[in-house]
Amino acid sequence: MYTKIKVLLFGILIITYPLNAQSDTKSIANSFYNFWLSSEYYNGIIRGKTPFELAPMKISPIQIFFPKGSNVIFWGSLQEGMTGKFTIIDSLSIEFTLYNSEKARIEKAADNKLSLIFQHDTMSFVSLPPKYYMKDGLTSFINDNFVTGTYSQESLSDKIIEFTQNGDLHGIDNFNHFSISLWGIGTPEFDTIILRNSNTGYYRRYCWERDGDILLLYELDLVNQDNPTPDELSKCKTGKLFCKLKRNK
Domain ranges of the chain: 3-132, 147-247
Burial 39-72 (b: 16+ CB within 10 A, else e): eebbebbeeeebbbebbebbeebbbbbbbeebbb
- The angle subtended at Cα 75 by Cα 166 and Cα 203, nearest 5°, is 35
Q: What is the pLDDT along the chain (249 residues), one digit of tens a residue?
A: 444 444 433 343 434 434 344 444 467 888 888 999 999 999 999 999 988 888 777 677 889 999 888 888 988 887 777 888 899 998 899 998 877 778 889 998 877 789 999 878 899 999 999 999 998 899 999 999 999 999 998 777 678 999 999 999 999 999 999 999 886 554 555 788 999 999 999 999 999 999 999 999 999 888 888 777 778 877 777 788 999 999 997
Number of helices followed by number of strands (H, E) in the chain: 3, 18
pTM, 2 dp: 0.81
Q: How many residues are listed for the chain in this entry? A: 249
Q: Which amino acid is at 84?
A: G
CA 138 – CA 141 distance, rounded (Å): 5
Q: Which DSSP string corresponds to 136-168?
A: THHHHHHHHHHT-EEEEETTEEEEEEEE-TTSB
DSSP state letter for 183: -
Closest CA to 38 of 6, 69, 78: 78
CB contact burial 79-113 (16+ within 10 A = b; e otherwise) = bebbbbbbebeeebbbebbeeeeeebbbbbeeeee
Angle at 52 between CA 4 and CA 54, to 5 degrees: 70
Architecture of domain 3-132: Beta Barrel (2.40)
